[in-house]
Amino acid sequence: MELYVDTANIGHIRHAASLGFISGVTTNPSLLAKEDPSVDVKQRILEIHELVGGHLSVEVISTDTKGMLNEAEEIISWFPQATIKIPMIPDGLAATKELSRQNIPTNVTLVFSTTQALAANNAGASYVSFFMGRLDDIASGSAQVLEEACEIWDIHGFESLIIAASIRHPAHVVDSALAGADIATVPYKVLMQCLKHPLTDAGLQAFLDDYNKMQAEKKKLNG
């Protein structure tokens, strides 16, 4: 399962990308606004693209098909490898169909059910972003719905890729991998939590302490 970082924070993206295990970035209007409401969106997106080079999903804000297609055209003019993130609404499906006809990759976002996921796939989405955390917030078990979606994908051999999104904690990353999601897009803080283990820290400290003890002994022996 590939891992993307779900943020628009340049410092976080730079650090995550430097660690070598991230292959893409997803953004959305809320993530961009959280960083700096006055940010020039095009400039920020291009900065992110330069840093990571891999997958970058950029979300449209129009809610009608024509508006979404115009925005997609503009985003593609910034950098042709962009994946256009489209909301899971009827007009979004029509826009997805048209962009797929033009061979422009799309990421249908705000997907919460298997029927929505099926519609997005059939409209030609390249990626289907299934939101876990927000589903758990309303006491609907996200892992079970994601498992169902992945099973349906396997049964039918669908080619679109499932992104587990709205990840809130490392257990969501594990659930996504177990369900068979192709990708999990993970907030920076959760990515860092995934790397941490107290036994790693304690083990490293013990190795360093023992090495230093050995060096001190050697120094003593050599006078």
Interacting residue with ligand E4P among 6, 71, 147, 175 (CB under 6 A): 6
Stretch that binds ligand E4P, among 40-48, 87-95, 126-134, 152-160 (CB under 6 A): 126-134
Indicate whether 109 belongs to the interface with ligand E4P (CB under 6 A). yes
Residue 142 binding ligand E4P, by CB under 6 A? no
Nearer to ligand E4P, 34 or 156 (CB): 34
Q: Which is nearer to ligand E4P, 121 or 185 (CB)?
A: 185
Q: Is 66 a catalytic residue?
A: no
Asked if 166 interacts with ligand E4P (CB under 6 A), we say: yes
Smallest Cα–Cα separation from 25: which of 33, 16, 34? Answer: 16
* Strand partners for 119: none
> Tokens 């030609």 correspond to what residue?
124
Q: How far is residue 159's CA from residue 97's CA, in Å, rounded to a whole number?
A: 15
Q: Minimum distance from CB of 81 to ligand E4P (Å)?
A: 17
Least Cβ distance, residue 109 to ligand E4P (angstroms): 5
Least Å distance between CB 70 and ligand E4P?
22
What's the rounded Cα separation, in Å, for the pair 105 and 157?
Answer: 19
Q: Candidates 120-128, 129-137, 169-177, 213-221 — which segment interacts with ligand E4P by CB under 6 A?
A: 129-137
Taking CB under 6 A as the rule, does residue 176 contact ligand E4P? no
CB 78, min distance to ligand E4P, A: 19
Which of 66, 85, 196, 218 does the annotation list as catalytic? 85
* Best CA proximity match to 143, nearest among 107, 190, 175, 169: 175
Catalytic positions, please? Answer: 85
Binding site for ligand E4P (CB under 6 A): 6, 26, 28, 109, 129, 131, 133-134, 165-166, 185
